[in-house]
Amino acid sequence: MTDIDQDATTTVDVTLNVNGVAHTRTVESRRLLSDFIRHDLRLTGTHVGCEHGVCGACTVLVDGEPVRSCLMFAVSAQEHTITTVEGLGTQDAMGPVQQAFVECHGLQCGFCTPGFVTTITAFIEENPDPTSEEAREAISGNLCRCTGYQNICKAVLRAAEIKRDLRAKKSEAGDAS
């Protein structure tokens, strides 16, 4: 065995902020972010489908931007804020996109849903009043084999509406104080 072969399994200590909590682990330097999230943190909402960055099921938010976690090393996520689908709602209340998916029947088997939810969350943050065409474009990088996308597009528009309503209520509450 050569020295290069022995060094192939280099481990490193990483500290990642996932859903507002710092997690420190010793991992192989080549550990994918998706594997870190699923296997080391046991946050199984992030699904792994194609393992090539094509399907979008593993999408998480890195500093608020959608990223395919199967294409990013865990060590590369250090000093960044990671949000998974588990971090988008609470036990008592769903996030706006999660609520919209339920209201609009935007899911069937659910495998692709976490990737859609994180992608759409970032999209409506940047575009709070999207058109149907913009909604369709926003989800074009995520694949679903069950739904035909119609209800997912409706869910994008409904999520934006929910988010706008929440902002208006916060604004009104701030004006009242």
Q: What is the pLDDT of residue 171?
A: 80
- CA 29 vs CA 32, 46, 141, 172: distances in Å: 9, 20, 28, 49
102-151 pLDDT per residue, tens: 999 998 888 999 999 999 999 999 999 999 999 999 999 999 988 889 99
Q: What is the pLDDT of residue 137?
A: 96
pLDDT at 176 over 70: no
- Residue 177: count other Cβ atoms within 10 Å of its Cβ: 4
69-95 pLDDT per residue, tens: 999 999 999 999 999 999 998 889 999
Q: Which residue has the tokens 């990013």?
A: 72
Residue with the larger pLDDT of the pair 96 and 172: 96
What mean pLDDT is predicted for residues 5-24?
A: 87
Q: How many helices (H) and strands (E) does the chain have?
A: 6, 5
Where in the chain are the domains?
3-87, 96-172
Q: What percent of the chain clears pLDDT 70, i.e. is strictly above it? A: 94
Q: Which fold has domain 3-87?
A: Ubiquitin-like (UB roll) (3.10.20)
Q: What angle do CA 31, 83, 17 make, to 5 degrees?
A: 65
Q: What is the pLDDT of residue 110?
A: 87
Backbone angles phi, psi at 169, to 5 degrees: -65, -40
Residue 119: enclosing H or E segment and its boundaries?
Answer: helix 113-126
Q: What angle do CA 11, 58, 82 make, to 5 degrees?
A: 65
Nearest CA to 151 among 140, 161, 136? 136
Which tokens sit at 63? 């500093």
18-27 pLDDT per residue, tens: 999 999 999 9
CA 135 – CA 19 distance, rounded (Å): 25
Q: What is the pLDDT of residue 9?
A: 76
CA 157 – CA 140 distance, rounded (Å): 15
Three-class secondary structure assignment of 7-54 = HCCCEEEEEEEECCEEEEEEEECCCEHHHHHHHHCCCCCCCCCCCCCC
pLDDT at 177 over 70: no
- The CATH code belonging to domain 96-172 is 1.10.150.120
pLDDT bracket for residue 6 (50, 70, 90): low
147-171 pLDDT per residue, tens: 889 999 999 999 999 999 988 888 8
- CA 50 vs CA 7, 25, 90, 151: distances in Å: 28, 26, 29, 23
Q: What is the pLDDT of residue 73?
A: 97
- CA 166 vs CA 50, 96, 108, 126, 159: distances in Å: 35, 9, 27, 16, 10
pLDDT bracket for residue 5 (50, 70, 90): low
Q: What is the pLDDT of residue 169?
A: 85
